[in-house]
A and B are shown apart, each in its own frame.
Chain A
Amino acid sequence: MSTLLPFLANVIVGGLVLGFVYAIIALGYTMVYGVLQLINFAHSEVFVTGAVVGFEVFRVLKDSSMNGYLKLIIALLAAMLVSGLLNVIIERLAYRPLRGAPKLVPLITAIGVSLILQDVLRVLEGFQGRFDLTYTLPAGFAGKFCGPESSCAGLGQFLVRIGIDLQLKDVILVIVSLLSLAVLNYIVNRTRMGKAIRAVAQDRVTAGLMGIDGNRMISATFLIGGALGGISGVLFGMKFGTINAYSGFIPGVTAFTAAVLGGIGSIPGAVLGGLLLGVLEKLIGVFNVFGDLLGIKNLAVIDDSYSKLGAFIALVLILIFKPTGLLGKSNVEKV
């Protein structure tokens, strides 16, 4: 028992850290969906683009004597800028001409855009002989957040005492996520633009009658969603170390599941869904440990390779039992 509790605590904390990455990706989906009712399949590639930009920044700044946090901020800003602009361009070229078309049309276009971006990213990095991009993080980021020897106080000490093992980059990840959530919350709920975006999401035609330029607000939404994708890409790269042009798919689907789990279109829902799925994904590996402990062979087979199934099974169950998600509002169908 004495080993099991810290183990479980570690799993849950690790899951929450992972969940923040999913939550930020999920926000990109949920914002676009909230405004356009479109599953932006290309978002997973926008997010990978952010990760690639982050990789390049870290690579270029590798030998400079700059502060590690400054490098991170530069990487985040660059990724936000590139991903945000990319998302706006995608919207302008691929989705705007299809405004008013049947729903399936932009959905298929989004799949097409995502395929195009995958190959473009692969070619761009391939020119430099790279495929799997391994992040070179600033020194210390990969180290322990609070080693037992170091003199750390407060929360760090508490975490160490109950046996939770955190790396510095995990803590940075959570802090960056929380900051971007706060900023997003401010933009959407407190600014004029946020109000306009919400109005367009409610009813584009009526918002237009009130003098709101729908297309501009949609562009703004794509810009914000892309910037969030950029942030999450850098965070994902930091967390997992490597990324390649095709690795957006699984986190993309997981994040979409998170968005649906929370109730798509709802910002708090996306965060909640992301956190839940992060923990769920980590918990699936626990079956293996229980199988070992209890000597049940069938359980021991369920290892990390099944962890991605958690998201899909969760998705099926959510959509069957509560299609509007945990925090989603029900939508009365009108004939």
Chain B
Amino acid sequence: MTPFPFSAIVGQDEMKTAMILTAIDPRIGGVLVFGDRGTGKSTAVRALAALLPPIDMVAGCPCNSATLADCPDWAGITQAVVVTRPTPVVDMPLGVSEDRVTGALDIERALTRGEKAFQAGLLARANRGYLYIDEVNLLEDHIVDLLLDVAQSGENVVEREGLSIRHPARFVLVGSGNPEEGELRPQLLDRFGLSVEVSSPREIETRIEVMRRRDAYENDHAAFMAHWQAEDADLRAQILAARAALAGVQVSNVALHDCASVCLALGSDGLRGELTLLAAARAMAAFAGADAITREHIRAAAPMALRHRLRRDPLDEAGTGARVARQLAEVLP
């Protein structure tokens, strides 16, 4: 069945905004969605795939290269037939083996034809797209380590079984999880550009609307999809327009100063917070059709960009989201 349309997701505005921002500017980094079960986390990620604008790639290239020159040698591609494909959104299941993540010797070809060939893994398939990890906080440590290395360098290097392979692996990480089942390692937390906290809608009317749309999706599929796919198409056009406008968004000294002072006041580690905040605010401005970043954009982007970068203080009952809000009110009145 076609995935549930992104625009038909009721509420959860912060989550949707965060995903839209990374679609406008993938350099913002990924999105971490943490929260209760049954709040539409996975639905949103799967819907995102259908929403993203398609990309051009060389047919048959295992890592979705844009041009023949970008195709890795080992793929043995000689003709560049460029095709348009949906932006890849690759699922990384828990308990996945290292071989499947990085790629490994193609055992089938080795066994049947005696050839030493490389079989690309999930990292190759996610290149230029999204890598989705459900329950990211339960991911095995050795896979996290692999991921951190690749996310850092944008390149996957495989040295095993006599193979020496490298290929580009630039992707946007999207992770979801439930904080009651364990924390995320800070190193990995840091890899996510934005983080959002989702919870079940509190208003009964909103909940009923969720039920109504789900029911229509399942039992009146054609009409439901016709309506919401049109909405999705509008949103996609808006994302594409924002992408085009991104470079033209003015960043004033005041905006830079605002970003720096928020990060300073919150004591967020390193410069990554500031850079992400700026990038997110820029994408926010582009999405809103503004030609310059305003304080409003920074204020809207700050919780998503900074929440997960603060040092955890367990004695602070309010949690990091509230701390960001408090500082924002003080620093950027």
Q: Does A associate with B in a complex?
A: no
A interface list, Cβ under 8 A from B: none
B interface list, Cβ under 8 A from A: none
